[in-house]
Structure 1
Amino acid sequence: MALETKEERPGASSTSDSDLEVTVGAVNEKKLLRTLDLRLLPAVSILYLLSFLDRSNVANARIEGMTDDLKMTGNQYLTGLTLYFLGYVLFEIPCNIVLKRTTPKFWLPTLTIAWGIVATLMGVTQNLAGFFVVRFVLGTTESGLFPGVVYYLSMWYKRDERQYRIALFFSCASLAGAFGGILAYGISKMKGVGGYNGWRWIFILEGLLTIVVAAVAYLFISNYPESVSWLTDNERKFIQARLKADSDSTNHEQFKWSEALVAVKDIKCWLYCFAFHTMSLPLYTLSLFLPTIIKDMGYTAAQSQLLTIPPYAVATIFTIFWAIMSEKYKRRAPFIAVTSTIAIIGYIILLANKNPHKKPGVSYVGTFFAAIGIYPSVALVLSWPAINVSGQTKRAIANAMQISIGNLGAVIGTQLYRPNTAPRYILGHSFALGYLVLNLVVVSALWWILTKENRQKEETLVSHPETKGFHDSEEDLKLGDRHPRWKFNA
């Protein structure tokens, strides 16, 4: 393994170099990373796939007769979608605080069981009020998973290893869309079983699946490196040493409100929030309305369920590919800009087709561009704070802020695809297009600020070459990402 010099990496310290030298001969780093990937990523990825499936299957249920059975109008359906995100936004930060004060092995499966029960209850809801209550509670119970997992992975992987893993994890969102279409197509055939319509069985079976997997998750979710039993002492020391040389993951930092305030005062944290805010509206409007958008092109409900699969499948593959390329070139902002532009092209195609009934193929191509552009951009945006924010409490709060403020875009988006705007959905598509353009502005501003601060840090080190490493003193630790040797990834 090639070790960097102290000047070449943020937070370098002689202590951690020594620890690495002691253990490097006994530990194969590549093999250890493969072990970590196999132990950590499948578990949390399955939970996130179920999370996205349980929040977006309402779109599949809608075209199978849910709104008719519950006697709701199209606008009341939109209100139910909005209530989900209100619950999600309100409980995001509290859930991350609970994670910081408990353990991933307890908290992540517990959250999953909670939302699995709620998702199942959606299948037996009998009226509009019940629909509203269940959607709000579903949002509260699902709110802690994504920021919790992002924080969790930051305690295992070095900064330059996190983005690819987070992107792999997030790719399950588009994969859930593809699975959702397949499952909805098959489950809807159960119409009449037990006296229930097909849409009810979509919620019941997928919710029960979540509960079963969550119960098993208590066995396969791990805690942090220092406490797991499947690492040898040398591997544990090696992980601790490499993380100590790279970031703050090995610090024993207690939750402090003062550190949470540091995140709130940092303009970069707010820009991470708005980078996701400008992506969450197109992300969730696409995932919540794609079956309806396709159905309104003139297809049947069954055809629409199946036609949602290809855009999501291609988006999943491209999300993984784009994460690999971004990691290879160690850049975030330019890669986000490219895929956001691809999504912009998709919505221009959707808006330009004045008659989706006569030219459904044109609009369908537009959905491909939208999906291929949105999902990779979101994956990169969501990994940014995990890479750049130092201080465990600050990072936990920054991640939760990003999801909370970001999902306010989804709250707005749930009210845009109104039935009276079908089949072109000019209002919804126009908002999505506008938000994607704003994303380019926010990402460019963040790129400029990160580059500027890196340059200022370099100037500080030139004028003060005696500056110590990131972990050489308690005072240095408190500086976190403000330390001159901490370099931001732009």
Structure 2
Amino acid sequence: MALEKADRNIAERGPGASTISSDSEVEGATGSPISEKALLRKLDLKLLPAVTVLYLLSFLDRSNVANARLEGLTTDLHMTGNQYLTGLTLYFIGYIPCNIVLKRTTPKLWLPTLTLVWGVVATLMGVTQNLAGFFAVRFFLGMTESGLFPGVVFYLSMWYKRKERQYRIALFFSAASLAGAFGGILAWGIAHMAGVGGLHGWRWIFILEGLLTVLVSMAAYLFISNYPLTTSWLSDEEKSYIHARLKADSDATHDEKFDWGSVWLAVRDPKCWLYGLAFHTLSLPLYTLSLFLPTIIKAMGYTSAQSQLLTVPPYALATVLTVLWAVVSEKSGRRAPFIIASSTIGIIGYIILLANPSPVKRPGVSYLGTFFAAAGIYPSTALALSWPANNVSGQTKRATANAMQISIGNLGAVIGTQLYRPNTSPKYVLGHSFALGYLAMNIVVVSTLWYVLDHDNRKKHLHLEQNPSTGSFHEISEDGLKGDRHPRWKFNV
């Protein structure tokens, strides 16, 4: 009865029920008023800090190898520069998203367990004694971290309405650039522990940051929640209202069982492949920047300690712009033009890096280029990664689409890990050129996706004009279509 009453309250608000009114209050299941703005604030405070911390640690543990390299990792393990690149590649070979597991378990169990396991693996990097050990740890780190990002994206889609997800996912993703900033500061500080316990500084970077992840994972079992109707920190009225607002907006309230048919729907949908290509064309510049920025800066003539600290400002700028760009994009209701604009900023950064004839003689010019690169790459990636969560309907199909996007995207990272070879220092023409080309391809892919989504929306609009009695997208249409194929499901462009 509580859910039914909340459903009626939402319905009585009319067509505007799917939008947020900052001061709106709706009667709850027991007659008490519920402020949508206050409820969203409560959800944000309970959900976002927890998953953002986990992703910050995830990105820190995968990218701190770049900081450790400056502190003697390759020298102590007697590896060549190209062998180091192979180790980076192996991370992405093991990175196979597993959202299907999340559908069959719960976020409260799955996400902290992933964190615990990769924390242990990340710590083992600090005691690795040879090249084979380095390769093994990088592979298993990728395998254990692979479920977090697509899992959290799907998780947030079960709490927020479609138009609310982009900002939350972007805020969550901003932890990636924040990890880069923290990583530089932490690496600079931890490197001063060289000699403590007879260990070199690079080992302490992995050990301390890995142990931090393990400790946070223990707490995560307490602060990660499941889904709205089963959580303890919401009142019955709030649960009812969340259920009703989601029911009016998407499929998040469906009790959908896993089925392979829905997986196949995602695989057959060209749009799901385009979402993957949108991330693919960003993952190469994203991961080459995060894995090689300390090395790129050091090649300008700075010391290792200076290079660690100089990575902080570009990442700090990227963090701020990722959040601001997501807010502006969400308010406009557009995705594609903002991704295109941001990728263009990244292209300018690589043009600056490539145009500088001597990074050692003119380090300030190349350093400026890293600001433009970071400022363009991270906001674009955040928006691209939020697209399937907004547009794919059917819980299993959406979980599959998220996993497809990460898998297709990370193929770009696999290529990128082989580009910044030691013999191309200090200009790194090969790596910078690929990054620039990929960002240009991103503009092409996003423009194509923009056209496809807009075309599908026009077809649906025409269908509804001719068939005004078409029912809700919760029902199968007269043509046997459901989910995001339903005429009443509008794609966010």
Tell whether the structures are fold-level matches, with TM greater than 0.5: yes
Offset of residue 22 of structure 1: 5.8
Per the alignment, residue 134 of structure 2 pairs with: 131
Give distance in 2, aligned partners of 1:465 and 1:53.
Answer: 52
1:139-288 mapped onto 2 (5 Å cutoff): 139-288=142-291
Whole-angstrom CA distance in 2 between matches of 1:341 and 1:383: 19
- Please give the alpha-carbon distance, in whole angstroms, between the structure 2 residues aligned to 1:476 and 1:234: 37
Cα 1:434/1:336, change in 2 over 3 Å: same
Which amino acid in the other structure matches residue 366 of structure 1? G
Matched, 1:446 2:453: no
> Aligned partners of 1:39 and 1:342: how far apart in 2?
34
Shift of 1:472: 4.5
1:21 Cα deviation (Å)?
7.9
2:360 to 357, 361, 372: 357
* Residue in 2 that maps onto 1:383: 386
C-alpha distance 78-311 of structure 1, shift in aligned 2 (>3 A): same
- Percent identity over the alignment is 73
d(CA) in 2 for partners of 1:125, 1:4: 63
CA displacement at 1:26 relative to structure 2 = 2.2
* Root mean square deviation, CA, Å: 1.9
Unaligned runs of 5+ in 2: 1-8, 20-25
**Match in the other structure for 1:14:** none
Aligned partner of 2:459 among 453, 456, 475: 456
Match of 2:88 among 58, 71, 81: 81
Per-residue Cα deviation, 1:108-143 (whole angstroms, up to 9, x for no partner) = 000000000000000000000000000000000000
The Cα offsets for residues 169-197 of structure 1, whole Å up to 9 and x where unpaired, read as 00000000000000000000000011100
Distance of aligned partners of 1:186 and 1:448 in 2 relative to their CA distance in 1, 3 Å threshold: same
Q: What amino acid is aligned across from residue 84 of structure 1 in structure 2?
A: Y
Give the Cα separation in 2 of the matches to 1:109 and 1:477: 40
Cα pair distance change 1:2/1:359, threshold 3 Å: farther
What does the per-residue CA deviation read over 1:210-243, in whole Å, with 9 as the maximum and x for residues that have no partner? 0000001000000000100111111001000000
Deviations 1:225-270 (A, max 9, x none): 0100111111001000000000000000011000000000000000
The separation in 2 between residues aligned to 1:179 and 1:7, in whole angstroms, is 45
Question: C-alpha separation between the residues in 2 aligned to 1:5 and 1:456?
Answer: 28
Matched, 1:57 2:80: no
Report the AA paired with residue 83 of structure 1: L
* Runs ≥4 residues deviating over 2 A: 1-11, 19-26, 471-478
Distance in 2 between residues matched to 1:9 and 1:407, nearest whole Å: 38
Going from structure 1 to structure 2, the CA distance change for 1:130 and 1:249 (only over 3 Å counts) comes to same
Mapped partners of 1:288, 1:230: distance in 2 = 39
Check whether the contact 1:9–1:485 (CA below 8 A) recurs between aligned residues: no
Which piece of structure 1 moves more, 375-384 or 226-235? Answer: 226-235
Q: Residue by residue, what CA displacement relative to the aligned partner does 1:387-426 show, whole Å, maximum 9, x if unpaired?
A: 0000000000000000011010000000000000000000
1:199 partner letter? W
Equivalent-residue separation in structure 2 for 1:4 and 1:72 (angstroms)? 67
Cα distance in structure 1, aligned partners of 2:31 and 2:346:
44
Residues 311-338 of structure 1 show CA distances to partners (whole Å, capped at 9, x for unaligned) of 0001100110000000110000000000
* 1:28, distance to aligned residue in structure 2 (A): 1.0
Q: Measure, in 2, the Cα distance between the counterparts of 1:383 and 1:276.
A: 10
Change (3 A) 1:476 1:158: farther
| 1:226 match: secondary structure | helix
**Is residue 297 of structure 1 aligned with residue 300 of structure 2?**
yes
1:43 pairs with 2:46? no
In structure 1, what is the Cα distance between the partners aligned to 2:480 and 2:145? 33
2:441 and 2:183 mapped to 1: Cα distance?
Answer: 30
Partner-residue secondary structure (3-state), 1:27 = strand
Q: Pick closer, same or farther for the CA change 1:2–1:338 going to 2, 3 Å.
A: farther
- The equivalent of 2:5 in structure 1 is none
**Counterpart in 2 of 1:325?**
328
Q: Does 1:420 align with 2:423?
A: yes
**Aligned equivalent of 1:27, options 22, 34, 41:** 34
1:311 equivalent in structure 2: 314
- The one-letter amino acid paired with 2:48 is L
Change (3 A) 1:31 1:173: same
| Alpha-carbon distance in 1 for matches of 2:138, 2:268 | 33
CA contact (8 A) 1:10 1:469 kept: no
Taking the aligned partners of 1:453 and 1:473, their CA distance within structure 2 comes to 18
User: 2:339 touches 2:380 (CA, 8 Å); kept in 1?
Assistant: yes
Structure with higher RCO (Cα < 8 A, 6+ apart): 1
Letter in 2 for 1:269: C
Aligned length: 479
Contact 2:471–2:477 (Cα < 8 Å) also in 1 = no
Task: Please tell me whether the aligned partners of residues 91 and 141 of structure 2 are also in contact (alpha carbons under 8 angstroms).
Answer: yes
| Partner Cα distance (1:24, 1:198) in 2 | 61
The equivalent residue for 2:75 is 68
**Contact residue 20 and residue 241 of structure 1 kept, 8 A:** no
Q: Is the 8 A contact 2:28 2:237 kept in 1?
A: no
Report the equivalent of 1:99. Answer: 102
- One-letter code of the match for 1:297? M
Q: 1:72 Cα deviation (Å)?
A: 0.1
C-alpha change, 1:4 and 1:319, in structure 2 (3 Å) is farther
1:115 aligns with 2:118: yes
Task: Check the 8 A contact 2:10/2:244 in 1, yes or no.
Answer: no
Distance 1:393 1:20 in 2: 32
How many Å separate the matches in 1 of 2:184 and 2:232? Answer: 39
TM-score normalised to structure 1 length? 0.95
Does residue 394 in structure 1 map to residue 397 in structure 2? yes
8 Å CA contact retained: 1:391, 1:481: yes
| CA distance in structure 2 between the partners assigned to 1:4 and 1:358 by the alignment | 68
SS at match of 1:407: helix
Q: 1:327 to 1:23 in 2, by over 3 A?
A: farther
